[in-house]
Amino acid sequence: MTDRIETDICIIGAGSGGLSVAAGAVQMGARVVLIEGHEMGGDCLNFGCVPSKALLAAGHKAHHTAQTAFGVAGHDPKPDFAAAKDHVRAAIDTIAPVDSQERFEGLGVKVIRQMARFISETEVQAGDTVVTARRFVIATGSRPLVPPIPGLETVPHYTNETVFDLRERPRHLLIIGGGPIGMEMAQAHRRLGCEVTVLEGDKALGKDDPEAAEIVLATLRAEGIEIVEGAQVARVSGREGEITLETEEGRSFSGSHLLVAVGRQANVDTLDLEKAGVALNARGVKVDDRLRASNKRVYAVGDVAGGMQFTHVAGYHGGLVIRPLLFGLPAKAKTAHIPWATYTDPELAQVGLTEAQARKAHGDNLFVARAEFAHNDRAIASGQTKGFAKVMVVKGKPVGATIVGAGAGDLIQTWALAIANGMKMSAIAGMVAPYPTMGEINKRAAGAYFSPKLFENPWVKRVVRLIQRVVP
């Protein structure tokens, strides 16, 4: 027997974007149905951000325990791989209640734990329940892309959805893909005692500033990670424990385990979107700048909307679509103020335009302000002098920032704030940062923008000398 529910907003997907919409909408008086066929919390909590950062933390602990520094002798940390995975599980379990079905039902959301599919432009079916809604939000996220490499279909391999279930330490982990996921997992596993080889068909960390990326890659190579660029995998063979990758140019690499980290694809396959009149493109649901689909009752947020694939973007989208959903007010999604970070050691973070992008867009109007970690007193005191911050400035306003070094993911937030609010460099230069902190790097970068105008301008010196002569 089919149950029928009528509601104001029906959300498909209980990841960051879907949960943001559900929590905001129900607490402002809307009737909300939330449908999730898998895990509450989505990819980030269960397979992505949280477990990867927990595993990285275990790797960092092992690495720094082994280092001799500051007059303290390092020692063999003897990593327990299974215990590290227990830490990963504990981190997930600690955060899970915030995203749980019980919490959202307590807020007043009707939660249905079934796979959803559209049956008309105004109806979704989930199990034995049909939901009719005034508005729909598709927040189904994405999943790992597994490329059609010959042999891969028969060889055991892992993705970010399965690698955290591996409790026995790999002897030699092969990774296909040199993006952020591949690099983070490479360093985490290397520091936990695995041999690691990364094969990247193009340039590792190729979407980031090349100068900054090179600092990260050099560090990973120095730790013993083999990173092979321009190596397109043509064939996979073997079995778990004995896996071989062959590249197009004929090179061969062998290892015990294989992780595939070449990208992601939107979760749209089972939604029957054609029945809802929702158009797709190559990256997911086709949306306008208001995140609205071809069916004007339907919005898409997060990875499935085909843009930047970050958890914080999904949360941003969720907060954005609340305005049209509840109040009928326009709201446009933007990307210039969206930061991202790769949590290797050192970290690599970006917001807005890279230097290359800024030079192409602004030409001679661009000024690149720069500050080195090696000139920061806190970095010197803590032995974290590797890295830099550079800020792309046009007519006194930052249009992008790149930071590589310790805590870059936290430091980039200053520039994300500045760009989001149209702040000038003078606002950052006028900030008083506590001494000694890494945050002074951002203030020093802002100062580097003004220094030539003050200290290298002959007119400034002439005015100062005149005032010194005439003012008593």
Is 39 one of the annotated binding-site residues?
A: no
Is 352 one of the annotated binding-site residues?
A: no
Give CA–CA dist 180/162, Å, rounded: 17
Is 53 one of the annotated binding-site residues?
A: yes
Is 140 one of the annotated binding-site residues?
A: yes
Is 183 one of the annotated binding-site residues?
A: yes
C-beta neighbour count of 153 within 10 angstroms: 10
What's the token pair of residue 314? 């999904």
Is 184 one of the annotated binding-site residues?
A: yes
What's the token pair of residue 369? 């302000």
Give CA–CA dist 181/310, Å, rounded: 12
Is 180 one of the annotated binding-site residues?
A: yes
Task: Fill in the amino acid letter for 457.
Answer: N
Is 263 one of the annotated binding-site residues?
A: yes
343-381 as b/e: b if 16+ CB within 10 A = bbbbbbbbbbbbbeebeeebeeebbbbebbbeebebbee
Is 383 one of the annotated binding-site residues?
A: no
Cβ(82)–Cβ(166) under 8 Å?
Answer: no
Is 59 one of the annotated binding-site residues?
A: no
CA separation (Å) from 314 to 22, 48, 105, 318, 370?
13, 14, 21, 6, 31
CA separation (Å) from 299 to 12, 124, 453?
10, 14, 48
What lies within 8 Å, CB to CB, of 286 at 6+ separation is 278, 279, 280, 293, 294, 306
Going by C-alpha positions, the residue among 187, 184, 190 that lies closest to residue 171 is 190
* Cα angle: 123, vertex 10, 332; to 5 degrees: 115
Burial of 160 (0-12, 13-18, 19+ CB in 10 A): buried
Is 254 one of the annotated binding-site residues?
A: no
Is 181 one of the annotated binding-site residues?
A: yes
Give the residues across from 198 on adjacent strands: 175, 227
Give CA–CA dist 212/159, Å, rounded: 27
Is 328 one of the annotated binding-site residues?
A: no
DSSP, residue by residue, 314-349: HHHHHHHHHIIIII--------TT-EEEE-SSSEEE
Task: Fill in the amino acid letter for 466.
Answer: L
Q: Which residues are annotated as a binding site?
A: 53, 140-142, 177-184, 200, 263, 303
Q: Which residues are annotated as a binding site for FAD?
A: 53, 140-142, 303
Q: Which residues are annotated as a binding site for NAD(+)?
A: 177-184, 200, 263
